[in-house]
């Protein structure tokens, strides 16, 4: 028998809150964290808006000397992971560190460091490159820092699958605990891609919204006037724990992680399959892994990016997966408020599933004022709704055709 895996802690740092409580309150009340980019010159860019972490000072969280040795995405990861560990009531001194792991998702990693050191190399030559360039920039380093800070010596690595990264990290952690490789794994994602290089790259792809004069209305999943996604940043982590271990230490259990599956479209580097079959297969796989039927799912946290192709394709995939039941689902997009946190997106969306199960509240998909006829399901438009949710599914997709889905259910 596979071991059961439960969620005992959560931590988040998002454009709408510096912790889970602040973030959830903002989401339920339809607060957008999207605004005009403030930390670099956007005059040459078509997109001038993003979901930035506001009022964040690394020196309030780290020794200044140590802070300079880390990229900002690592700062975000450590702060969110600290909250998750504390929320779970884990005292590292009382845990067998060899049985606690860290598996993170990240789409890009230390792109600000990469950008700054590239400029140094170009302007002054390689002798001016920082000795911390590589350990600041590499995508696995956030997982390492979390382990070093807490003494967690179990499985530790990073997964990069673009915007599906955190779901893959959570799913891989789920499997590792099921098969006895660890008792506890801190898993989720972190990203800090809102730099001139990061935003400029997505501008070149023409993937971003250019609704610069109305930032808070720019991310509008499933709306006919959507024109691209909004980049954002932050981190979100969950503490995943083997059920008997959690019970033995008297841990509070938020919910159970019950299923996971992953597929690939094998079709295109950025566009999803038009028939939605790849994503549907991942959802069906996760539901089956949880021992459920599609009709057992009441709520789906959609990938919901606000791009023309994604939202239409995801609607098709939901219909393929759920059939007639798709019309009975409640579906929402967290990205309508926080923007697209890239490698961290599925982390906050998993937390949203947990909070929805815990509170019976569905946060709204904001800015859904002109529904797209091709997106004709119930996306909880503009106002929060109440629903007792027993089984939730979180869907994540990534450039390269990566599809991943997890099922979170009420713990009984």
Summarised one tens digit per residue, pLDDT across range 99-146 is 999 999 999 999 999 999 999 999 999 999 999 999 999 999 999 999
CATH number of the domain bearing residue 385: 3.40.47.10
Helix residue ranges per DSSP H, 159-306: 165-178, 196-204, 243-248, 277-289
Q: What is the sign, positive or negative, of the torsion defined by CA atoms of 139, 141, 144, 146? A: negative
Of 248, 276, 299, which residue sits at a domain end? Answer: 248
Nearest to 176 by CA among 242, 118, 132, 235: 242
Instruction: Please say if 327 is a catalytic residue.
Output: no
How big is the chain, counted in residues? 412
Query: 286 and 181 in one domain?
Result: no
Query: 279 and 217 in one domain?
Result: no
The DSSP H or E segment spanning 204 is: helix 196-204
Percent residues over pLDDT 70 in the chain? 100
Rounded to whole angstroms, the Cα distance separating 349 from 342 reads 11
Task: Let me know: does 229 contact 75? Beta carbons within 8 Å.
Answer: no
**Considering all CA atoms of the chain, what is the largest pairwise distance in Å, rounded to the nearest integer?**
63
Of 248, 272, 307, which residue sits at a domain end? Answer: 248
Instruction: Please say if 375 is a catalytic residue.
Output: no
Nearest to 315 by CA among 377, 391, 245: 377
Q: Which of 18, 75, 168, 340 is catalytic?
A: 340
Q: Is 255 inside any structural domain?
A: no
Helix residue ranges per DSSP H, 249-305: 277-289
Q: Is 146 inside any structural domain?
A: yes
Confidence grade of residue 203 (pLDDT, cut at 50, 70, 90): very high
- Write the DSSP assignment of 118-147 as a string of letters: HHHHHHH-GGGS-TTHHHHHSTTHHHHHHH
Query: 203 and 88 in one domain?
Result: yes
Confidence grade of residue 274 (pLDDT, cut at 50, 70, 90): confident
The tally of domains found in the chain comes to 2
Determine the pLDDT at residue 189: 98
Query: 224 and 351 in one domain?
Result: no
Q: Which of 18, 163, 168, 402 is catalytic?
A: 163
pLDDT higher than threshold 90 for residue 1: no
pLDDT tens for each residue of 377-390: 999 999 999 999 99
Angle at 34 between CA 312 and CA 233, to 5 degrees: 85
Query: 243 and 276 in one domain?
Result: no
Average pLDDT on 66-74 reads: 97
Determine the pLDDT at residue 21: 98
Determine the pLDDT at residue 322: 98
Instruction: Please say if 321 is a catalytic residue.
Output: no
pLDDT tens for each residue of 78-92: 999 999 999 999 999
Nearest to 47 by CA among 280, 184, 232, 182: 232
Indicate whether this model's pTM tops 0.75.
yes
Task: Let me know: does 396 contact 161? Beta carbons within 8 Å.
Answer: no
Percent residues over pLDDT 90 in the chain? 99
Query: 309 and 289 in one domain?
Result: yes
pLDDT tens for each residue of 291-303: 999 999 999 999 9
pLDDT higher than threshold 90 for residue 187: yes
Query: 176 and 237 in one domain?
Result: yes
Query: 123 and 51 in one domain?
Result: yes
Determine the pLDDT at residue 278: 96
Q: Which of 303, 321, 353, 363 is catalytic?
A: 303
Q: Is 380 inside any structural domain?
A: yes
Average pLDDT on 256-279 reads: 95
Tell me if residue 392 falls in helix, strand or coil: strand
Range of the domain at 298: 260-409
């Amino acid at each position: 028998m596979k071991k059961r895996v439960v969620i005992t802690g959560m931590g988040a740092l998002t454009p709408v809150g510096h912790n889970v409580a602040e973030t959830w309150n903002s989401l339920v009340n339809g607060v957008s964290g999207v605004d005009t980019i403030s930390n670099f010159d956007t005059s040459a860019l078509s997109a001038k808006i993003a979901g930035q972490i506001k009022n964040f000072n690394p020196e309030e969280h780290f020794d200044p000397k140590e802070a300079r040795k880390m990229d900002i995405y690592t700062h975000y990861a450590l702060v969110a992971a600290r909250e998750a560990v504390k929320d779970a009531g884990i005292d590292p001194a009382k845990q067998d560190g060899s049985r606690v792991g860290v598996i993170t998702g990240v789409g890009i990693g230390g792109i600000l460091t990469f950008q700054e050191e590239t400029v140094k190399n170009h302007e002054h030559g390689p002798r001016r490159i920082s000795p911390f360039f590589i350990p600041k920039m590499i995508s696995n380093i956030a997982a390492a820092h979390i382990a070093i800070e807490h003494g967690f010596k179990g499985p530790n690595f990073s997964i990069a699958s673009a915007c599906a990264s955190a779901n893959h990290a959570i799913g891989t952690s789920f499997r590792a605990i099921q098969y006895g490789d660890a008792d506890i794994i801190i898993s989720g994602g972190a990203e800090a891609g809102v730099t001139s290089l990061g935003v400029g790259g997505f501008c070149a792809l023409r993937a971003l919204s250019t609704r610069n004069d109305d930032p808070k209305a720019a991310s509008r999943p499933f709306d006919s006037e959507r024109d691209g996604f909004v980049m954002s940043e932050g981190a979100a982590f969950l503490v995943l724990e083997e059920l008997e271990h959690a019970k033995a230490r008297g841990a509070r259990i938020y919910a159970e992680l019950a299923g996971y599956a992953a597929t690939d479209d094998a079709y295109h580097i950025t566009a999803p399959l038009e028939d939605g079959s790849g994503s549907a297969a991942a959802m069906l796989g996760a539901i089956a892994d949880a021992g459920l039927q599609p009709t057992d799912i009441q709520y789906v946290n959609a990938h919901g990016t606000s791009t023309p192709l994604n939202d239409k394709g995801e609607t098709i995939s939901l219909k393929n997966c759920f059939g007639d039941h798709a019309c009975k689902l409640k579906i929402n997009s967290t990205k309508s408020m926080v923007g697209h946190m890239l490698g961290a997106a599925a982390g906050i969306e998993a937390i949203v599933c947990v909070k929805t199960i815990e509170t019976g509240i569905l946060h709204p998909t904001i800015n859904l004022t002109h529904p797209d006829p091709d997106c004709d399901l119930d996306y909880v438009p503009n106002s929060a709704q109440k629903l007792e949710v027993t089984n939730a599914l979180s869907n994540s997709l990534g450039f390269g055709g990566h599809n991943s889905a997890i099922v979170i259910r009420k713990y009984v």
